């Protein structure tokens, strides 16, 4: 069977069949992903046939209830991607390969093995003092702002938002703050599949983590790797290295975009203008609204069906790949808050179920993001966009939702 035949035979019930699978890439997706998600839901319902980069077929779970069902049933919708039935359609240079190739980290573990490792991560993160973390973030933010405060202009993605999460994570991991910039640069490069040295950068990050874990084995401290080493789960050094890389990579991408997307919202939405004149009360509201409207991780790949089943009116076959449409599920009109997000925190931005973001990682990410934005607004209270809001560009990515640049201007302030 050819790829074209396979796509033509994707089951689309009733009158919806003529629509055909939508592409989760290309100009339409890049220009208006939210509009595309709404169109997919209108044409196909809560579960839809889609095509990933290179026209690789998958199912897109865009209904809130269906996404909840998939994330809580880890036996029917499993995480081990070696079950995928379309590996023979994937070229060696497929740009999404890194997100699906199985490795021995907690990300792909299942059952008791996953619970053992995810539980250890949760225990280690729960030991982080959130007040200390906030204080560290204030110092990190102040140092970064000092570098551009006198110029009256800045680009807040590369000069600010991108540089805070891993520096904060380095502190939680017991690294000296002087070592943080190098690992930040390497991890950012390793997450950029277009970077020429992405694999070499990943190898350097992995070696840095390995040395850190071995050092903590000999000289433990009040930090995440030391807590993982001491955990009753009896993790090996290699397991700790792999799992810390998963946590740090997720923290970098998600929190960077959360910070940037929230600053954009506060600079472009009149409802949050009071924050720029000294008020702080709406920073938390803006962070929550971004999780509903422009969630930093818009899609997640994914789950593999372990047997034939039906979901959202579609027939799912054994080995089929399901893409978790986090942003689309948040916009599901059956559950979306009518009058804005407000205090409603039932969004799916951190996933759900045993493979969701481990508690209390979302709380720690919020501490980092909220502190970073508050310090910025305190230091530069007349912050404004340096370009029209419509000129801001989003990264071309099926997974993340974040700006390529966020240029701003402000009254120069000179550091003493």
Task: DSSP letter for 151, please.
Answer: T
Which residue matches tokens 């993790």? 235
Fold of 1-102+298-348: 3.30.43
SS3 385: strand
How far is it, in rounded angstroms, from Cα 154 to Cα 145?
Answer: 9
The confidence score (pLDDT) of residue 98 equals: 82
User: Would you give per-residue pLDDT tens digits along the chain (416 residues)?
Assistant: 344 334 334 443 334 445 799 999 999 999 999 999 999 999 999 999 999 999 999 999 999 999 999 999 999 999 999 999 999 999 988 988 888 999 999 999 999 999 999 999 999 999 999 999 999 999 999 999 999 999 999 999 999 999 999 899 988 999 877 777 777 778 777 766 555 667 788 888 889 899 999 999 999 999 999 999 999 999 999 999 999 989 888 888 899 999 999 999 999 998 886 545 555 448 999 999 999 999 999 999 889 999 999 999 999 999 999 999 999 999 998 887 665 555 576 789 999 999 999 899 999 999 999 999 999 999 999 999 999 999 999 998 999 999 999 999 999 987 75
Q: State phi, psi for 354 to the nearest 5 degrees.
A: -70, -20
Residue from 297, 309, 311, 298 nearest 66 by CA: 311
297: β partners: 400
Q: Are 53 and 301 in contact (CB under 8 A)?
A: no
Six-digit token string for 266:
């506060």
Six-digit token string for 121:
């991560």
């Amino acid at each position: 069977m050819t790829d074209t035949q396979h796509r033509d035979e994707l089951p689309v019930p009733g009158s919806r069949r003529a629509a055909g699978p939508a592409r989760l890439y290309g100009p339409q997706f890049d220009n208006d992903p939210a509009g595309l998600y709404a169109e997919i839901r209108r044409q196909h319902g809560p579960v839809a046939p889609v095509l990933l980069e290179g026209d690789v077929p998958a199912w897109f779970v865009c209904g809130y209830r269906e996404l909840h069902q998939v994330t809580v049933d880890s036996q029917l919708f499993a995480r081990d991607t070696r079950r995928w039935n379309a590996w023979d359609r994937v070229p060696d240079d497929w740009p999404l390969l890194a997100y699906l190739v199985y490795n021995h980290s907690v990300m792909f573990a299942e059952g008791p093995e996953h619970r053992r490792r995810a539980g250890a991560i949760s225990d280690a993160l729960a030991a982080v003092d959130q007040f200390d973390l906030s204080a560290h973030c204030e110092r990190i933010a102040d140092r970064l702002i000092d570098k551009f405060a006198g110029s009256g202009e800045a680009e807040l993605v590369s000069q600010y938002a991108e540089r805070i999460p891993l520096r904060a994570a380095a502190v939680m991991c017991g690294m000296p703050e002087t070592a943080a910039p190098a690992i930040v640069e390497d991890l950012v490069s390793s997450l950029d599949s277009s970077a020429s040295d992405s694999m070499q950068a990943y190898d350097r990050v992995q070696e840095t983590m390995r040395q850190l874990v071995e050092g903590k084995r000999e000289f433990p401290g009040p930090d995440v790797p030391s807590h993982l080493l001491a955990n009753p789960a009896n993790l090996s050094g290699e397991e700790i290295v792999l799992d810390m890389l998963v946590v740090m990579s997720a923290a970098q991408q998600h929190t960077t975009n959360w910070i940037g997307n929230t600053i954009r919202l506060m600079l472009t939405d009149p409802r949050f203008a009071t924050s720029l004149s000294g008020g702080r009360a709406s920073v938390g509201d803006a962070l929550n609204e971004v999780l509903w409207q422009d969630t930093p991780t818009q899609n997640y790949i994914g789950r593999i069906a372990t047997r034939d089943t039906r979901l959202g009116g579609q027939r799912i076959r054994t080995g089929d790949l399901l893409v978790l449409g986090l942003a689309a599920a948040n916009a599901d009109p059956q559950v979306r808050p009518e009058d804005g997000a407000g205090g409603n925190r039932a969004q799916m931005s951190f996933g759900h179920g045993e493979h969701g973001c481990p508690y209390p990682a979302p709380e720690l990410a919020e501490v980092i993001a909220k502190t970073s934005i508050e310090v910025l607004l305190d230091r530069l209270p007349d912050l404004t966009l340096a370009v029209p809001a419509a000129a801001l560009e989003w990264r071309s990515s099926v997974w993340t939702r974040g700006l390529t640049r966020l240029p701003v201007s402000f009254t120069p302030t000179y550091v003493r």
